[in-house]
Chains A and B, each alone.
Chain A
Amino acid sequence: MKKRMATIALLMTAVMGLSACGSSGGSGSDSGGEASGGDSGEGIELVVSHYYLEEERDSNASGDTFLTMVEQYEEEHPDVTVTQQTMSQADFTTKIQAQAAANELPDVFMVKGSWVQNFVDNGVLAPMDDYLAEYEYTDTFRSDAFDASTVDGKIYGIPNQLSMTSVVYYNAELWAEAGYDEFPTTWDDLFAANEKFKEMGISTFSLGNKDKWPAESCIISTIGDRYTGSDWTNSIIANDGNAKFTDQEFIDALNLFKEMSDSGMFNADCNTITDTQAAEYYAQGQAAATVSGHWEIATLQSLADEELLANTKVALLPTNDGSEPTSFSGGCGWYFGVNANLTGEKLDAAMEFVLATSGYDASVYTAETYGLPSGNVVSDVDLSGFSQLTQDFVELVNSVSLTPTYDLQMDGAVIEVMNTGLQDILNGTKDAETVAAEIQAEQDKL
């Protein structure tokens, strides 16, 4: 009998262990995260939460910019104590959601464009219009800077980075070997080149889609826009019911992606490696090109040797009719927002902090230190001191316009279904129509 009791007790503990996964909302958070009202007195304490780790500072332009700006702010404002809560991006994403659920958000925190609507609906973000009206450099923000942080005409976040998610980095030497002077401007040429690279035993593009976002963020966002146009995308983002994922244009885009995959354009293990591993394949000459974002420059500079870097050129994915591409996916995706619970002096300080660390000054620092564009337009930047790759990149970006990146702006649940469906397409297990119908079914639930 005693043994049976012990068995039952063990059973209970073992099963109860399951509930650890069930406590999505109930778990407590550390005390530092709680925002308090504006109490004046002996200085102000601001709790700031972000995902810029000190140890990644060297390889992360926007991270270094933010951390530098915070140091500057602290020097200029000795009366304000800034407490930073830093963690990896994945951990940050989880933690901030849990804090929002418990209404225990820090004073200042990063928000992704696709979360803004939800956060505003829940009343946790403070509007910034009054503070922007008084800000010296409001005119310098890009015209599309606040697209993803505006709800009902009010602005809830200041962008601190410009994501450019869909640039082709290609190894000019390998393409010359295959008989191409530059990256093809038509899909037919691209598919023909693919056959040559297969003969050479390398893949045309290296893709690392284990984490599911690269195929969608870097490839589908641009191909999709080529087929559907940005009005369609904006209609999906606004969920006004006009555009549907089951529209033929979007299915055509998925079919093109399926064709790319079926013809062996990507490395065979694209679903099991990460974005960084894909960059390694490219850096080792196992792929002729890779499609990735602005972060790829820093990644390649740390992975590839001088020769390969010198051979690396930038281009855009072809258009459907073979004309010169005029756009690719990108935009401001991450913002710094302020807790709606703040009042008085503390609210003023938080707003000032955000504008000081993510506004014009930050853009100037990014441009001068890294050559990269960000949320504000900075003119007269001397690029001559930067690598040829960076110069080419900036030149390319400045010559075209940006179209919405899906995962920065569409609803998170829809993106999750899309990302999973794209993995199925890459794996050859689902066709375009099925995936489109699944994505639309999720969109219908909104």
Chain B
Amino acid sequence: MGYLKMKKGSMLLCLLPGIIWYSFIILVPVILAGYYGFFDWSGGINKTFIGIQNYIDVLKDSVFILSLKNNLFLVVVCLIGQLGLAFLFAFMLNSRHVRLKGLHRTMSYFPAVLSAVVVGFIWSFIYDYNYGFINAFLKLIGQGDKAQAWLSNEKIVMALVAIPLVWQYIGYYMIIIMSAMSSVDPQIFEMAEIDGASGWKKAVYITLPLIKNTLIVCVTLCIAGNMKIFDLIYSLTGGGPGNSTSVMAMYAYKSSFLSYKMGYGSAMSIVILVISLVVVGGSQLLMRHFTKEDEG
């Protein structure tokens, strides 16, 4: 005991570079955005103080509400799609019947290293009306009349946007889940097999509870990632048609830099931060609640 103990002063000194870096990259901009949110400010020197009017307007803004709904839709789809499929694939890859595990692992992680703009570009080709893969396939199987400008169909466009998002990040979560799975003692599985547990039962009753904490981290990452999603949608649809694929971060960007409502955009980004904290925090509470019941 005590051989690694530091004086409080020197401890703070060691932390200082990190704290300074963190403050200027994150804390200061957040506080400034909160401050600017109280002003009618179009960018520039002149600002008019208008109290919390911007914050009230954001909450009443129908486009913002629509964007929030789109974010929540993506969260739900990606929780099921990204994490669900990632768990499934990770479990399959851990089975001893699969060959070329390394190749599978590398290939499925590959999309995660691509820039979102590249992914958007690839998928806009897939959805393309004239040269797109989907329409070409439909024509090939004699269903040419079902060919359409996919990203113009506002009824399904959110789902179409979610597909590349799920596709891109399955590998990312798969790797995390696989590493958690590999830390589970194989003897447990051997014993379960002796007791006659099938593959499915092993997954649900042994693997899942034992990697619970990793899954909670994945859920958190997934929710946070989808609450701030911007780049892929920007390159794929730009929020269109109309506002039907608008998400919160994109609307904040557009308000600030296309409509020149800097104060309003700042207020919006603070509202986004609060909403995201609530959603992530809420999901944490929920998960903790349920996992406790399991233990009890």
Contacts and interface: CB of A to CB of B under 8 A. Distances in A.
Does chain A bind chain B?
yes
Interface of A: 3, 6-7, 10-11, 14-27, 93-94, 97-98, 100-101, 103, 115, 118-119, 121-124, 210-212, 267-273, 281, 286, 412-413, 416, 420-421, 423-424, 426-427, 429-430
Contact of B152 (A20, A281, A427): A427
Nearest to B253: A21
A22 B280 contact: no
B188 interface: no
A121 B43 CA distance: 10
A421 B242 contact: yes
B110 interface: no
Contacts of B272: 18, 21-22
A422 to B, nearest CB: 9
Interface centre among B42, B228, B243 (most CB of A within 10 A): B42
Interface in B244-281: 244, 249, 252-254, 256-262, 265-266, 269-270, 272-273, 276-277, 280-281
Contacts of A286: 130
B124 A272 contact: yes
A423 B253 CA distance: 19
> Taking each of B216, B241, B262, which has the highest tally of chain A beta carbons within 10 Å of its own beta carbon?
B241
Given A100-B43, A103-B44, A272-B151, A14 B221 contact: yes
16 contacts: A7-B216, A11-B220, A11-B281, A21-B269, A22-B269, A25-B266, A26-B28, A94-B257, A97-B260, A100-B44, A115-B260, A123-B44, A210-B240, A271-B241, A424-B241, A430-B242
A15 B279 CA distance: 10
Given A18-B228, A210-B240, A271-B152, A25 B32 contact: yes
B187 to A, nearest CB: 22
B129 A24 contact: no
A314 to B, nearest CB: 26
Contacts of A421: 242
Contacts of A424: 241-242
Contacts of B86: none
Contact of B277 (A15, A118, A121, A427): A15
Contact of B243 (A6, A94, A420): A420
A416 B29 CA distance: 26
B221 to A, nearest CB: 6
Contact of B270 (A22, A124, A426): A22
Contacts, number: 189
B217 interface: yes
Main SS of the interface on chain B?
helix
Interface centre among A21, A212, A267, A430, by most B CB within 10 Å?
A21
Given A94-B257, A272-B151, 16 more contacts: A18-B272, A21-B230, A22-B273, A97-B43, A118-B44, A118-B260, A122-B43, A210-B240, A267-B129, A270-B152, A271-B241, A272-B237, A273-B129, A416-B258, A416-B259, A430-B242
Contacts of A20: 29, 228
Interface in B9-67: 26, 28-30, 32-33, 36, 41-46
A211 B43 contact: no
A429 B230 contact: no
Contacts of B227: 18
Contacts of B242: 420-421, 423-424, 427, 429-430
A122 B29 contact: no
Nearest to B45: A122
Nearest to B148: A268
Contact of A427 (B130, B154, B216, B228): B154
Interface residues on B, range: 35 or more
Interface of B: 26, 28-30, 32-33, 36, 41-46, 124, 127-130, 148-152, 154, 213, 216-217, 220-221, 224-225, 227-228, 230, 237-244, 249, 252-254, 256-262, 265-266, 269-270, 272-273, 276-277, 280-281, 284
Contacts of B265: 24
A269 B152 contact: yes
A93 B225 contact: no
B191 to A, nearest CB: 25
Contacts of B221: 10, 14
A107 B261 CA distance: 24
Given A272-B237, A412-B258, A7 B269 contact: no
A14 B227 CA distance: 10
B30 A22 contact: yes
B152 A22 contact: no
Contacts of B230: 21
Nearest to A10: B217
A147 B38 CA distance: 34
Contacts of A7: 213, 216-217, 220, 284
B282 to A, nearest CB: 12
A269 B149 CA distance: 5
Contact of B33 (A26, A118, A121, A273): A26
A126 B274 CA distance: 41
B252 A22 contact: yes
A123 B46 CA distance: 8
A25 B42 CA distance: 11
A15 B30 CA distance: 12
A15 B152 contact: no
A93 B242 CA distance: 22
A15 B280 CA distance: 8
A59 B7 CA distance: 65
B259 A21 contact: no
A122 B150 CA distance: 44
